[in-house]
Chains A and B, each alone.
Chain A
Amino acid sequence: MAIASVVVATEAGAAEAVLADLSRLPNTEVYGSKENQIVTVIEADSVAALTEGMQRLAAVDRVVGVYPVYAGADE
């Protein structure tokens, strides 16, 4: 079980729209946003699998950047 917190940056004014899309992704939890930056936490089976999760975030419409801040495994 691995988790990572990620700041998702969006196009200007697109935060609300992206928020809604993110909250529908599996294993993804949204904690809030400031202007065009959204605090997200993703889970995966392993640390390696986290990269998949981040790619999923990056693929969301109107996302311009995905910045992991913390990653760790829950032994």
Chain B
Amino acid sequence: MNRLIVLIGLCLLMQPQAVLAAAAKHPATPENQECVECHGDQEKVWFDGKHGLMNVKCIACHGSTDKDFAAKPGSAACRGCHGDQVAQAMKSKGKEGKSCFPCHDPHALTVKGGSAKPYHVPGGK
């Protein structure tokens, strides 16, 4: 038990870059305010893309503006429809790691020029 207290004490001393900055929270908004009212630029790119046509709305990736808000969603958010692609990308190795957005434009979802070879089978169809 003593060993543990020492251990904990040590680690608390050793907090490296434990910057106690606020997590990326969304500012409070009235219920009837739509994302597009502030984020028109992203919304336009999204609307013209595949997700826009298929009504995969902002919440699908970003959650609501409450506790579950995610400014930069992880690939788990994509799993509902793109389970295969997410699983394959998570498995493969790559310098950029396992987020979808090093290769895919976050709102148009198109593959960015200069991306490395695909980490998964093609989507759609």
Residues in A lying within 8 Å of B, measured CB to CB: 7, 9, 13-17, 19-20, 34, 37, 47, 65, 67-72
Contact = CB atoms under 8 A, between A and B. Distances in A.
A6 to B, nearest CB: 9
Interface residues of chain A: helix, strand, loop or mixed (majority): strand
Contact of A14 (B16, B75, B97): B97
B90 A20 contact: yes
Contact of B74 (A16, A47, A67): A16
Given A16-B74, A16-B75, A20-B90, A71 B8 contact: yes
25 contacts: A7-B11, A9-B16, A13-B96, A13-B97, A16-B74, A16-B75, A16-B97, A16-B98, A16-B99, A17-B97, A19-B74, A19-B98, A20-B90, A34-B23, A37-B18, A65-B16, A67-B11, A68-B7, A68-B8, A68-B11, A69-B11, A70-B8, A71-B4, A71-B7, A71-B8
